[in-house]
Structure 1
């Protein structure tokens, strides 16, 4: 694994905070069973029962419109909620596909245009950021090309691992912080994953019509598709079907709220509802305007953050090993989700797990859509963590460099330290005063070295029998 490969490792596990990229599988196993659901079930059972990434999972497949639902629950699970294709999960960033579909429907009906500037979709008096005169467009927002950050700059709980960090985030905060962003690149020129962008997109459409985003989405997308269990609100009458969420350490957590960033990650849904959505893209089965909107979504081509992945509206489009498929994933405080489809194979897959995770079932979903994609089967013991005095924990905070294009930043998080590289980030926690590990990236360790009780001078990262040494940047 060279430095370029290691950078891809960061991007792969960046998806733990809904920064989707193709998963880099550790201990990867190539499998030639194609779309064999029996092999899929074996992979899911191994992920839950042996690798222990969650307590339960629901996987749904669609082949030429024929559905199959696979469920797995660990024997030690204490939750007794109904587990089937109608189990309701927080689907997190899968919400962005619905928001992008709503945008496409609005374009089909000529109520908006993809090249409309964001400036026309914010309250009067609010100044949207620009780059050398280039305005952010709705298409930029829907393809992560707006050059906006992942999260708003005025969140009260700004740590990426803070629980329920978007709850209560208001329209006043959303638009009040907008003039303070300074774009670092021309909109549309590069991929920069952003929950903020999709929040602005959904709320901008709502503002234009003078109604709530939830109401418009229900009227024009989820209602016409018959998605009765896909909603931004929790329905108490469906509590028996509501999956109990768990954090990275498999402790119960949630439910969560995304405030006015709900268009980026607030939906609850089921495997059955999501398969119906996928069928719209695979077979064109659905209302005519939604069929036209789905085709419009796939016609867009923008930078996607890697050599093999581009952005359509909402969807990631990956081309590798002679196959092209579309996908999305997400992570809430208590769930990990994936869905995608391969048009040539007329196949789709949904994979929902009841715990936050750095990988969830993503690589299994990628493998179903393209059998040449590998699946992680290596079983790595869960690290044992300790508690350190704050002054010891803070020794590692800083920026470290191996090369000019290979910089790691360490910051204080809510549950540990945050490792950031590019737009990827994950949590590490101490195993000793100098050695840290991550539940999100199994098998990875980071060791800080330097003067006693002073700032660490070097960071040594070990992964897959490879070692990388980074030096602190003054």
Structure 2
């Protein structure tokens, strides 16, 4: 498994990691503190090449930037925003629902192109809400989808063949399972219903009303001079990926200035898309894998003053993005990076200062034969089962509802996924074998799991 494939797998984990324990609001860091955070991440920790932060507050909008391609302090550097794209696709769905063009509980099959047939499933048909809340039972990605920078784009005919051979094991709406396939289908259905391509819908229904200048699947000529270059976790430049049928799940380019304007749909009642934004948050379903609620596109954490919205993205062509929002307070934060190392901790810290920043890790090595002792199934008190296995990249952890995650050793019986800041500390029993583990990530309560086999 190469680096680009690891990055692709980690993209689906951003949703699970967004489910942090809600921190109490506090005094937001000032510009000097934000600048220090960005400099440390780039110059000392070497965990980013360039970073841009955009902030929305009742007092206005501000931007901070540091590093290569972070020179546009007005937030106009263009980055791949990966799974933040799903927020745009979900807003398109909500906009069409408020216009009466589709119903959230309407079967998606009624509006798909003839060549796309949904897999058979027990119970009721898959609905628009199922796709937008990751509860349709569809997998993260199709097994025949090539991944990594420079990989050929996944095409409609490939998705058609994959779905034709797929059978769902559970009724839709029963289980949260993060799915890029689901959002690809959602984009196809919305385009078919509206009689317009996804890119046209995006421009006419979202970009124009909100005044977005640099948000597109294919960068316009005016955007190209401001494009950032993606980098892997070793800070090596990567070629950009190309998107076709998967564009609604993660193919957008955008900038911090546009994403802050996007947030205004959720904080400003006078926004032309405020009704659609409200509908996105009204339709929620439990997401035990998140330890949160899954709305249309957004993950919803906590309640009242401590509550907030989040979405994160990690692109296989070397970009990460995070966006958080507190609509009642009129506040939001966007963080964009052109490096395949997560930035969600920065976004949450700037919105909720009690939320800690991720630690820096010192990775060690273990012989392959030593990793086998950790392989097994581990169960949390909630009943969720985590699976530990090995591969050519070392130890892998399967978090329920998310793709496989490679974890690296940092010490005796201690492992970490440094890109997204997940720590796994194994507890050793009297027989010398792991009896369980404690899983930690910044701002979340520890999760304990016992070995069951």
- TM-score w.r.t. length of structure 2: 0.81
Q: Distance in 2 between matches of 1:462 and 1:143?
A: 28
Q: Distance in 2 between matches of 1:151 and 1:299?
A: 27
Listed one character per residue, the Cα deviations across residues 376-406 of structure 1 (whole Å, up to 9, x for unaligned) are 253x3442569x89xx799689654467743
2:350 to 368, 381, 392: 368
How far 1:90 sits from its partner (Å)?
0.4
1:423 aligned to 2:406? no
The question of whether the paired residues in 1 share the 8 Å contact of 2:107 and 2:125 is answered with yes
The secondary structure found in structure 2 opposite 1:183 is coil
How far 1:55 sits from its partner (Å)?
1.7
| CA-atom RMSD in angstroms | 3.8
Distance 1:410 1:234, change over 3 A: farther
Alignment map for 1:238-277 (pairs within 5 Å): 238-277=223-262
1:410 to 389, 397, 409: 389
Distance 1:281 1:472, change over 3 A: closer
The question of whether the paired residues in 1 share the 8 Å contact of 2:414 and 2:423 is answered with no
| Residue of structure 1 in register with 2:271 after alignment | 286
Distance 1:108 1:469, change over 3 A: closer
Alignment map for 1:210-359 (pairs within 5 Å): 210-235=195-220, 237-287=222-272, 290-305=273-288, 309-319=292-302, 322-333=305-316, 334-357=318-341, 359=342
1:89 to 62, 72, 79: 79
1:189 aligned to 2:181? no
The secondary structure found in structure 2 opposite 1:272 is helix
Distance 1:196 1:377, change over 3 A: closer
Distance 1:343 1:402, change over 3 A: closer
The question of whether the paired residues in 2 share the 8 Å contact of 1:47 and 1:377 is answered with no
Distance 1:298 1:80, change over 3 A: closer
Aligned residues, how many?
431
Gap regions ≥5 residues in structure 1: 1-12, 74-78, 450-456
How far 1:23 sits from its partner (Å)?
6.2
How far 1:46 sits from its partner (Å)?
3.3
Listed one character per residue, the Cα deviations across residues 299-352 of structure 1 (whole Å, up to 9, x for unaligned) are 212113357521221111111584222121111121111112112221111111
1:150 aligned to 2:146? no
The secondary structure found in structure 1 opposite 2:246 is helix
1:207 aligned to 2:192? yes
The question of whether the paired residues in 2 share the 8 Å contact of 1:58 and 1:71 is answered with yes
Distance 1:442 1:326, change over 3 A: closer
The secondary structure found in structure 1 opposite 2:136 is coil
| Residue of structure 2 in register with 1:177 after alignment | 162
| Residue of structure 1 in register with 2:4 after alignment | none
Distance 1:35 1:137, change over 3 A: farther
Q: Distance in 1 between matches of 2:105 and 2:179?
A: 19
Distance 1:24 1:291, change over 3 A: closer
Q: Distance in 2 between matches of 1:462 and 1:316?
A: 24
1:133 aligned to 2:133? no
Listed one character per residue, the Cα deviations across residues 260-310 of structure 1 (whole Å, up to 9, x for unaligned) are 1110000000000000111121113433xx222112212212113357521
| Residue of structure 2 in register with 1:383 after alignment | 363
2:54 to 60, 63, 69: 60
How far 1:253 sits from its partner (Å)?
1.4
2:183 to 198, 207, 213: 198
